[in-house]
Amino acid sequence: MITVTLLEVAFFLYNGVSLGQFVLQVTHPRYLKNSLVYHPQLRAQAWRYLTYIFMHAGIEHLGLNVVLQLLVGVPLEMV
């Protein structure tokens, strides 16, 4: 769970730097061209079904996911 959390933060930082903004909008043209984002017209690219979990729309979205993953996911893995 910690590894997944670190990957999410790394992907968020990478996408924020590459787009030049950290409040990402899912309608941004360069965001939609990202090879990780799920796009209904590109269903043949099966990896998109799994890699979209690393994409976050903003710092609030990422922060809430990280907190919940660490508060719920880590103890759940330990059980």
**Each residue's pLDDT tens digit, 60-76:** 888 888 999 999 988 88
pTM recorded for the entire structure: 0.68
- Asked whether residue 79 carries a pLDDT value surpassing 80, the answer given is yes
Q: Sort residue 55 into left (φ over 0), alpha (ψ -120 to 50) or beta.
A: beta
Q: What angle do CA 74, 68, 26 make, to 5 degrees?
A: 130
**Each residue's pLDDT tens digit, 1-47:** 888 889 888 988 887 787 777 666 666 666 666 767 777 777 787 77
Mean pLDDT calculated for residue range 41-61? 76
What is the Cα–Cα distance from 77 to 61, expressed in whole angstroms? 23
Q: What is the pLDDT of residue 31?
A: 66
